[in-house]
Homo-oligomer: A and B are copies of this chain.
Amino acid sequence: MLSERRLQVLRAIVQDYVGTEEPVGSKALTERHNLRVSPATVRNDMAALEEEGYIAQPHTSAGRVPTDKGYRLFVDKLAGVKPLSSPERRAIQNFLDGAVDLDDVVGRTVRLLAQLTRQVAVVQYPSLTRSTVRHVELLSLAPARLMLVLITDTGRVEQRMVDCPAPFGESSLADLRARLNSRVVGERFTEVPQLVQDLPESFDAEDRGTVSSVLSTLLETLVEETEERLMIGGTANLTRFGQDFPLTIRPVLEALEEQVVLLKLLGEAKDPGMMVRIGHENAHEGLTSTSVVAVGYGSGDEAVAKLGVVGPTRMDYPGTMGAVRAVARYVGQILAEN
């Protein structure tokens, strides 16, 4: 167990390093934080911290730099979440209030987050899996061709084509539309399958095939549409990384373009609280020199999607966490208001 002062020293190192981007030495530490001990003492503490693996020196006889383990301790024990200033909060609210549709909400959120944290922002579109059905619409495009439109409570719209095994009359269509909606509107996606399974039986034999096609397409859409989409922004902030550029930035850009990777990453943010992944804690190789801060957001009590930022391990964790949390809350509000 580390003594109280050693923890203070670690905290000071993290803060200074984040501020200056340069390895921090014992003398500078004692000057900038009133630790009330001499540099020599701090040196001893640093040696101990290094022994434990919380800090490291880039080269012999340079200052110390926090390791991933050091940041981890800092985040878990030494720092809180820094709340935003109230002007900032007002700015967020104003900015998000101007959104006209779901795409716009997500787009604005990305820009906001990127600007606020000066890092790369990632926002997942509200997932279909947790949300409820607002409306199902059926349109006849051709005698044996339907379009199925699914509208969710988060304002998302998905459409699918359905090829009918047999022509399907306008009246049957209206009938199916009405029955379908009366059963599934307001229901969770997970409930839908059992709610509609007996529908084909109540139709004439000739229409039954088409009804089944429609239903299976609907179910497919509900399930398979866990193929979540996401939007990223603020990649220009990557240029603030360091100057050993090509090597650092490249894998990150590549990882960001692999939506699968990002979705998996965000998916690991479990519902309660905020996820902070530091450096090598990230499974993906391209992100081992970055940290990810993510949190779920939702229109109601439950998270329907995630959002977060990707930045250098050397980031302002309290500030970033505060911004991410605040944005998530406001987006949730906006979605709830619909």
The residues of A with any CB-CB pair to B shorter than 8 Å are 101, 103, 134-135, 137, 139, 141, 147, 149, 151, 157, 159-160, 229, 233-236, 238-239, 243, 245-246, 249-250, 253-254, 256-257
Q: Are A239 and B245 in contact (CB under 8 A)?
A: yes
Q: Are A239 and B249 in contact (CB under 8 A)?
A: yes
Q: How far is the CA of A245 from the CA of B244 in the complex (A)?
A: 9
Q: Which residues of B contact A238 (CB under 8 A)?
A: 253
Q: Are B246 and A246 in contact (CB under 8 A)?
A: no
Q: How far is the CA of A157 from the CA of B151 in the complex (A)?
A: 12
Interface of A is mostly: mixed
Q: Which residues of B contact A160 (CB under 8 A)?
A: 101
Q: Which residues of B contact A249 (CB under 8 A)?
A: 239, 245
Q: Which residues of B contact A139 (CB under 8 A)?
A: 135, 137, 151
Q: Are A239 and B246 in contact (CB under 8 A)?
A: yes
Q: Which residues of B contact A134 (CB under 8 A)?
A: 141
Q: Which residues of B contact A254 (CB under 8 A)?
A: 236
Q: Which residues of B contact A257 (CB under 8 A)?
A: 233-236
Extra inter-chain contacts (8) besides given A236-B253, A245-B245, CB under 8 Å: A101-B160, A137-B137, A137-B149, A235-B253, A239-B245, A239-B246, A239-B253, A245-B246
Q: Which residues of B contact A250 (CB under 8 A)?
A: 236, 239
Nearest-neighbour CB distance to chain B for A102, whole angstroms, equals 9
Q: Which residues of B contact A234 (CB under 8 A)?
A: 257
Report the 4 A-B pairs with minimum CB-CB distance, sorted nearest first: A236-B253, A245-B245, A239-B250, A236-B254
Q: How far is the CA of A229 from the CA of B141 in the complex (A)?
A: 26
30 examples of A-B residue contacts, CB within 8 angstroms: A101-B159, A101-B160, A103-B229, A134-B141, A135-B139, A135-B141, A135-B147, A137-B137, A137-B139, A137-B149, A139-B151, A149-B149, A149-B157, A151-B159, A157-B157, A157-B159, A233-B257, A234-B257, A236-B250, A236-B254, A236-B257, A239-B245, A239-B246, A239-B249, A239-B250, A239-B253, A243-B245, A243-B246, A245-B246, A245-B249
